[in-house]
Structure 1
């Protein structure tokens, strides 16, 4: 049987189309795997620290360990990637506070926004406040930069007379660590609880405390279920 002269080009076009579709599906699967691995890693590191084995993260993400290592060559690389976006957000919040015309208002703004962010992301709260191994250089460098920005923020607020003179950076870290204990039933309720806690903290940080109305209280579970 003779072949039409256009048959080979047509078949080649179909093959290319199928190949492109398969390739795109593989890329989509890889993206989904990566996103799932990162989500699982954030939750695992938040609850258990860096001791969580890669094999366990892979099991929870429903992929093989080789898939995890394909995306993240080391556990430290996975940790850094899991929290890099949150650290960038943290630095941006502090930088914005430093630009405020009133250093005390800028300080209060940073306290409020950081406590809200940490209430929503317990894993990042622990990453920010914990001692990390030297191998997490990428993340540690970003965190150190954020801490240096906080030092400037505190110094400016003190020099402006709004912040009590005996305030130390560790007091701000304690405030952020406190948000990790918020156990409200929804993200919205966690944010509301963080705002009230921030208001209480800010009143205690003032050089000349002024009693001001607090944000509304949030109903929290007071006993184990």
Structure 2
């Protein structure tokens, strides 16, 4: 995993920063974004002052902790958007994004909630949703994607994928892969499809964001 670390930091400061990020990633992944900042500092074996010197706000820590996951998510979607077969590209997005989010609960929460003032996560999410909406539009034109699918159905899919609870990370990924296969079948345009209920507005907003300290 590569990180953008300020070159001006001393080696001990860089070690502290890396340890804080490793700890935050691990805790966010298993416990979500509600982990207190002081608990992250304690688990990283540094004082709160050291934590706040590197990351003055929870938002700045969330952004830094999920930078690699966000880039991976963007890469998946950007590659799919250039696929000459948009339906194949959309299926790849569903499979890969579900697995990526299944591996990291904290990233799913940050992505879905647009964590306040974590502008990198918010901007990245909004860009990805726009790219996926365009990909879905082109997939509809091929006749493979059912015509009543709307962009917010992606959020519905991620919310459902987030709700999968298993006994181990391996089982979580396996269940998520099976769920993605069900989703793809449900989205496939078939003659026997029945009309869907009206769509719900699910795109995250700031008021949906969990308040943490």
TM-score calculated relative to the size of structure 2: 0.76
1:182 match: secondary structure: coil
Determine the C-alpha separation between the residues in 2 that align with 1:156 and 1:165.
Answer: 11
Deviation for aligned residue 1:43: 4.6
132, 139, 143: which is aligned to 1:161? 143
The structure-2 alpha-carbon separation of the partners of 1:209 and 1:108, relative to structure 1 and needing over 3 Å to count, comes to: farther
Partner of 2:48: 65
58, 61, 80: which is aligned to 2:63? 80
User: Is the contact between residue 203 and residue 209 of structure 1 (CA under 8 Å) also seen in structure 2?
Assistant: no
RCO comparison, higher one (Cα < 8 Å, 6+): 2
Partner of 1:217: none
The structure-2 alpha-carbon separation of the partners of 1:66 and 1:196, relative to structure 1 and needing over 3 Å to count, comes to: same
User: Is the contact between residue 126 and residue 177 of structure 1 (CA under 8 Å) also seen in structure 2?
Assistant: no
164, 178, 183: which is aligned to 1:196? 178
| Superposed counterparts of 1:37-186, under 5 Å | 37-45=20-28, 47-49=31-33, 52-133=35-116, 135-186=117-168
Determine the C-alpha separation between the residues in 2 that align with 1:112 and 1:100.
Answer: 15
2:78 match: secondary structure: helix
* Regions of 4+ moved over 6 Å: none
Q: Give CA-to-partner distance per residue, 1:154-178, whole Å, 9 cap, x none.
A: 1111122111111112211221222
Please provide the CA RMSD for this pair.
2.2
Aligned residues: 182
Determine the C-alpha separation between the residues in 1 that align with 2:173 and 2:32.
Answer: 23
Q: Give CA-to-partner distance per residue, 1:168-195, whole Å, 9 cap, x none.
A: 1221122122222333344333222211
**Counting helix residues as a fraction of each chain, which structure ranks higher?**
1
TM-score calculated relative to the size of structure 1: 0.72
Determine the C-alpha separation between the residues in 1 that align with 2:68 and 2:80.
Answer: 19
Gaps of 5+ in 1: 1-25, 211-225
Gaps of 5+ in 2: 1-9, 193-213
